[in-house]
């Protein structure tokens, strides 16, 4: 039995909130003190009532203490992991960190009730909101049986708005309302035969952008269970692009106007087609405006990156001008001093080092965009993962980020990072640099991009590691051996940095949190734990 035992559990409350408990049991012969429990959850799926850090204080032997948290699901929750980090000091005041094995929260989805609406209203709602699609192929089961299973899965939570035949299949429209908030969830289910298989294609639609994935995953998991019970089997999933194309080809998402409470619908070759009666100019204008803003943002990001490259490659300053002049002067003197004479021999000329000029600056530590030839990366799409590697956990104001440390591949870099983290060096520091779509960077005690710890380490490149999305690397100055404490997390592929900056880790959880970080966000605590 371990000295410190962690137990966890949860219950769904009548208001659909989740009470999550983490019990810490001290099985040792001595009291442990300053016990803290840091909850690890996705803030895109849950809201939290209270603080994510729960202080339990001192825990005597054999006296359990429980940290309780109230989580509010922001949508349909299905098989989502809730983790935690437990920090304490033993009787010798030595600090310990334990990573709790995550607890899977299953199907918190009784938050839906039937939404009784007419077909015309359903089709009108489909024109707006957020969408998510899934598709699965089944073998050994009929269209009729799968339609029956879908109806059973959605019973009492989704209202059957309509059901009608298409060529070799059926379409079902279902609608539900969220309990406790003003939000709707619509489901379009297309079930059809295709080359000996039966396809199920689902499209979820809501006026809220959260909960759609959980909503669809729960329906599909329930459907899979029923299919297995009928001695049928799943053949494989259908690519999202194909799902969208199939649904759109069967139920064309054209714009239509409502006349006498019903849309104009033509049935031709057993395929429902909505007649396009008038164009929604306002919706078209909004979409064009959204695309224009996206283009402007992308152009601005590209311009900023290009400007950073230009500034870093050519810094127009007086100091540099005089430095260049000094170099030219030295070269001139060197030329006249090396004109062959009585004392000059080929050997002496060969061994005489060429004069060089050193330009001393205080550059910002950053993954500079360089055009130095990098390692071929055509085949590197995922950095290696090992069960033996330790995990770094960064608790931020917006959630938790976890990344695996490649201790075998980059022993110098990982040891430097681990030593700093275990000393509490990173606790309370900020992310001082945020480049959307490129990197977030932190670890500077000064917070301005030019600070570091009291030592530097050499550049450590491993050809098997690449700057893919989620890669963690060490920042440095123009000096290749100047890395200290600053590190960055890639928000997208940045393989042009390979060979010039050291990748020493890979995000395994919380990449969505990394993408929400803004300049100045704090790292509340950085810890090192097991896999």
pLDDT single digits (tens) 413-431 = 999 999 999 999 999 999 9
Residue closest to 425 by CA, chosen among 525, 500, 494: 525
Give burial (CB, 10 Å; 0-12/13-18/19+) of 20.
Answer: buried
- Predicted local confidence at residue 368, as pLDDT: 44
- Predicted local confidence at residue 54, as pLDDT: 93
Residue closest to 491 by CA, chosen among 526, 516, 522: 516
**Cα–Cα distance between 424 and 523 in angstroms, integer?**
11
β-strand 391-396 against 233-237: which pairing, if any? unpaired
- Predicted local confidence at residue 339, as pLDDT: 37
β-strand 184-194 against 130-139: which pairing, if any? unpaired
Query: Could you give the maximum distance between any two Cα atoms of the chain, in Å?
Result: 109
Output 353-356 pairs: Cβ under 8 A, ≥24 positions apart.
355/327, 355/330, 355/331
Give burial (CB, 10 Å; 0-12/13-18/19+) of 187.
Answer: buried
Give burial (CB, 10 Å; 0-12/13-18/19+) of 176.
Answer: buried
What residues contact 505, with CB distance under 8 A and at least 6 apart? 392, 403, 404, 405, 406, 414, 417, 471, 472
First to last CA, the chain: 20
Is the torsion defined by CA of 326, 329, 331, 334 positive or negative? negative
- Predicted local confidence at residue 325, as pLDDT: 57
Segments in 374-495 forming alpha helices (H)? 411-422
Summary count for the chain: helices (H), strands (E): 9, 27
- Predicted local confidence at residue 278, as pLDDT: 35
- Predicted local confidence at residue 336, as pLDDT: 38
- Predicted local confidence at residue 274, as pLDDT: 33
Please tell me the pTM assigned to this model. 0.36
- Predicted local confidence at residue 25, as pLDDT: 93
Task: Write out residues in the chain with pLDDT < 50, as ranges.
Answer: 108, 110, 253-280, 309, 311-318, 332-364, 368-380
- Predicted local confidence at residue 298, as pLDDT: 65
| Phi and psi at residue 156, to the nearest 5° | 70, -5
Angle at 111 between CA 105 and CA 116, to 5 degrees: 150
- Predicted local confidence at residue 272, as pLDDT: 31
Neighbours of 351 (CB within 10 A): 8
Tell me the residue ranges of DSSP E strands in 116-208: 130-139, 159-166, 169-178, 184-194, 197-206
Beta bridge partners of residue 3, listed in sequence order: none
- Judge contact between 32 and 26, C-beta under 8 A: yes
């Amino acid at each position: 039995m371990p000295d410190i035992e962690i137990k966890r559990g949860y219950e769904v409350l009548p208001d659909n909130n989740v009470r999550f408990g983490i019990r810490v049991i001290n099985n040792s012969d001595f009291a442990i003190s300053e016990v803290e429990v840091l909850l690890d959850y996705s803030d895109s799926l849950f809201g939290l009532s209270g603080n994510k850090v729960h202080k339990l204080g001192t825990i005597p032997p054999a006296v359990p203490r429980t940290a309780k948290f109230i989580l509010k699901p922001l949508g349909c929750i299905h098989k989502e992991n809730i983790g935690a980090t437990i920090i304490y000091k033993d009787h010798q005041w030595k600090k310990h960190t334990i990573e709790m094995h995550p607890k899977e929260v299953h199907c918190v989805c009784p938050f839906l009730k039937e939404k009784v609406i007419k077909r015309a209203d359903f089709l009108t709602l489909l024109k707006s909101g957020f969408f998510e699609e899934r598709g699965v192929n089944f073998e050994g089961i009929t269209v009729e049986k799968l339609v029956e299973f879908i109806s059973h899965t959605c019973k009492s939570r989704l209202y059957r708005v309509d059901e009608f035949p298409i060529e070799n299949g059926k379409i079902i429209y279902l609608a539900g309302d969220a309990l406790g908030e003003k939000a709707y969830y619509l489901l379009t289910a297309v079930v059809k035969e295709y080359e000996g298989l039966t396809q199920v294609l689902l499209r979820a639609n809501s006026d809220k952008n959260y909960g759609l994935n959980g909503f669809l995953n729960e329906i599909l998991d329930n459907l899979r269970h029923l299919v297995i019970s009928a001695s049928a089997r799943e053949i494989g999933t259908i690519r999202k692009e194909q799902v969208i194309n199939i649904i759109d080809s069967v139920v064309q998402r054209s714009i239509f106007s409502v006349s006498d409470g019903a849309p104009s619908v033509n049935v031709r070759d057993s395929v429902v087609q909505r007649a396009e009666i008038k164009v929604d100019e306002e919706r078209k204008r909004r979409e064009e405006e959204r695309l224009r803003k996206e283009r402007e943002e992308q152009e601005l990001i590209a311009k900023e990156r290009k400007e950073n490259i230009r500034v870093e490659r050519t810094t127009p300053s007086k100091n540099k001008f005089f430095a260049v002049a000094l170099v030219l002067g030295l070269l001139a003197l060197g030329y006249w001093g090396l004109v062959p004479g009585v004392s000059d021999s080929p050997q002496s000329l060969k061994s005489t080092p060429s004069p060089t000029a050193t330009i001393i600056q205080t550059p910002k530590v950053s993954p500079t965009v360089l055009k130095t030839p990098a390692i071929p990366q055509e085949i590197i799409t995922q950095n290696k993962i090992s069960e033996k590697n330790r995990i770094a956990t960064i608790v931020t104001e917006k959630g938790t980020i976890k990344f695996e440390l490649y201790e075998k591949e980059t022993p110098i870099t990982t040891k430097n990072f681990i030593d700093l983290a275990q000393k509490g060096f990173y606790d309370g520091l900020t992310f001082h640099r945020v480049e959307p779509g490129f990197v977030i960077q932190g670890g500077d005690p000064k917070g301005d991009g030019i600070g570091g710890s009291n030592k530097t380490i050499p550049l450590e490149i491993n050809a098997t590691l690449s700057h893919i999305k989620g890669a963690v690397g060490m920042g440095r100055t123009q000096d290749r051996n100047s890395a200290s404490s600053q590190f960055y997390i890639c928000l997208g592929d940045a393989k042009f940095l390979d060979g010039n900056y050291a990748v020493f880790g890979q995000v395994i959880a919380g990449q969505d949190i990394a993408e929400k970080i803004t300049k100045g966000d704090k790292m509340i605590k950085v810890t090192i734990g097991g896999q």
